[in-house]
């Protein structure tokens, strides 16, 4: 992409020189002579702009598939960190280990952050959404995590980049940054930081007029749904200490109400989006009526498996994930309608239910905790099968582990001692 940018810049320079030469030769009175040089100039400028956007964006949500074989036998690898590939056949741990889960999350975050330079909804974005919330149980995360997370967001903080947020995944990265910083303030420092306030304000600056944010149909479940992203934005707004009370800009206040109205009135496409709406309702004051909250809780409980867990594939039809971008591959799965419980959906279901007020002593929650305790793998992660084909990486196990460990913390299920 860098080479394309320089080739286009060179081409634009040549076209400009061509136009200048024609001017010096006195061709100004013959507009037709300028048709091709001006067309060439515009062509190269558009291509250069595209290349420049890609260079700034740096938002490849997954490693290139061609890179998978070079990563094998590792899911994530950088310097001395070598995380084995995630497979459904990986052995289950005999005892729950919070330390092993944290090691997997911390190492995965370090590799993703330093190697791919991307917030990553399934990766560093999920890490910062969850790790600060574990502070009271396992201690605060390193300050370096926040510093480097802000470093990933630096390109998003430049003025004049509103147009760039209209395409690609930059808007999603920004919402995840705002949510992660809000979690840090709420759980680590206990007070709103200037950086969090800045990110929340910027988040609303690039909000669309219908109330949501740009989210291309790309990598379900976390990088494909504008509704899910809007729910996360609501979580960020409700989590950042005192931010809502301090909103003094009329335009920002208007945008907050746009978000509230969007989540209240926009029809969700599937039950996975409804789980995120349930979680958001517990953070964003007055988002939903109590009857609607109870309805959503019943929906989630209705999907629970007899073994106590939940399965991601139960929450949407193949054609509904990412606007149908994975329809054919998911329909080809023989066991789609009978998928086993997984860590991603079980953890997320427990978090949303407990934060929405369901007691941790409820039989459904106790059964879910039992499933989570019994299904951690030797690497420290929880297994979940990707919706995006068998690319060998199964990075959804990372968000699965984030949600599983937070669910156990919310249920006070960490081993004593």
pLDDT digit string (tens) for 392-401?
689 999 999 9
Kindly tell me if the per-residue pLDDT of 164 is higher than 80. no
Residue 283 has pLDDT above 80, yes or no: yes
- pLDDT of 65 over the 60 cut: no
Tell me the residue range of the domain where 89 lies.
68-410
CA-to-CA separations, 200 to 220, 244, 250, 404, 405, in angstroms, rounded: 24, 10, 14, 27, 26
Is pLDDT at 391 greater than 90 in this prediction? no
Same domain, 24 and 125: no
349 and 225 assigned to the same domain: yes
Region of 87 on the Ramachandran plot (φ > 0 left; ψ -120 to 50 alpha; else beta): beta
The pLDDT, as a whole number, for residue 53 is 44
Q: Is the pLDDT of residue 163 over 60?
A: no
Please tell me whether residues 173 and 248 are part of one structural domain: yes
Q: Any long-range contacts for 23-30 (C-beta under 8 Å, 24+ apart)?
A: none
Handedness of CA 189, 413, 294, 209 (dihedral sign): positive
- The mean-pLDDT minimum among 41-55, 127-141, 225-239, 274-288 falls in 41-55
Examine the pLDDT at 69 and tell me if it is beyond 70. Answer: no
Give the integer Cα–Cα distance in Å for 48 and 258.
35
Structure-token match 């802000």, residue found? 150
The predicted structure's pLDDT at residue 61: 42
Least confident of 21-30, 98-107, 144-153: 21-30
Reported as a single tens digit per residue, the pLDDT across 314-363 is: 999 999 998 888 899 999 999 999 999 999 999 999 999 999 999 999 99
What predicted TM-score, i.e. pTM, was given to this entire model? 0.84
The pLDDT mean for the chain works out to 85
Same domain, 239 and 366: yes
Question: Residue 288's pLDDT is what?
Answer: 97
Share of the chain above pLDDT 90, in %: 67
DSSP designation for 219: B
Q: Is residue 415 part of a domain?
A: no
pLDDT confidence tier of residue 52, bands split at 50, 70 and 90: very low
Mean pLDDT of 227-245: 97
Total domains, the chain = 2
- Domain shared by 33 and 138, yes or no: no
Residues 50, 76 within the same domain: no
Give 409 or 150, the one with higher predicted confidence.
Answer: 409
């Amino acid at each position: 992409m860098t080479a394309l940018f320089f080739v286009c810049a060179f081409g634009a320079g040549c076209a400009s020189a061509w136009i200048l030469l024609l001017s010096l030769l006195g061709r100004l009175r013959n507009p037709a002579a300028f048709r091709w040089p001006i067309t060439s100039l515009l062509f190269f400028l558009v291509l250069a702009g595209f290349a420049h956007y890609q260079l700034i964006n740096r938002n490849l949500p997954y490693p290139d598939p061609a890179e998978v074989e070079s990563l094998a036998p590792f899911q994530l690898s950088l310097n001395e960190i070598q995380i084995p590939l995630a497979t459904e056949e990986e052995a289950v741990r005999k005892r729950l280990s919070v330390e092993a889960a944290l090691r997997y999350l911390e190492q995965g975050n370090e590799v993703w952050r330093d190697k791919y330079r991307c917030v990553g909804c399934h990766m560093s974005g999920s890490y910062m959404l969850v790790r600060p919330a574990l502070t009271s149980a396992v201690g605060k995360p390193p300050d370096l995590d926040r510093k480097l997370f802000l470093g990933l967001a630096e390109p998003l903080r430049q003025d004049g980049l509103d147009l760039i947020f209209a395409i690609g995944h930059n808007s999603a990265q920004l919402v995840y940054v705002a949510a992660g910083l809000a979690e840090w303030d709420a759980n680590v420092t206990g007070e709103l930081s200037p950086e969090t306030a800045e990110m929340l304000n910027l988040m609303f600056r690039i909000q669309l007029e219908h109330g949501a944010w740009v989210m291309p149909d790309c990598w379900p479940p976390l990088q494909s749904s504008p509704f899910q992203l809007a729910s996360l934005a609501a979580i960020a707004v409700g989590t950042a200490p005192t931010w809502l009370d301090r909103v003094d800009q009329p335009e920002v206040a208007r945008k907050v109400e746009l978000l509230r109205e969007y989540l209240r009135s926009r029809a969700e496409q599937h039950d996975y989006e409804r789980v995120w709406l349930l979680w958001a309702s517990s953070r964003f004051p007055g988002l939903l009526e109590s009857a609607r909250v109870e309805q959503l809780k019943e929906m989630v409980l209705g999907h629970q498996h007899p073994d106590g867990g939940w399965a991601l594939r139960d929450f949407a039809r193949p054609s509904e994930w990412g606007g149908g971008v994975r329809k054919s591959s998911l329909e080809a799965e023989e066991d789609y309608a009978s998928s086993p419980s997984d860590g991603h959906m079980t953890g997320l279901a427990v978090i949303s239910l407990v934060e929405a007020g369901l007691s941790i002593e409820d039989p459904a929650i106790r059964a879910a905790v039992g499933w989570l305790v019994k299904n951690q793998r030797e690497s420290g992660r929880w297994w979940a099968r990707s919706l995006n084909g068998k690319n060998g990486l199964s990075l959804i196990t990372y968000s699965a582990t984030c949600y599983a460990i937070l669910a156990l913390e919310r249920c006070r299920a960490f081993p004593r001692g």
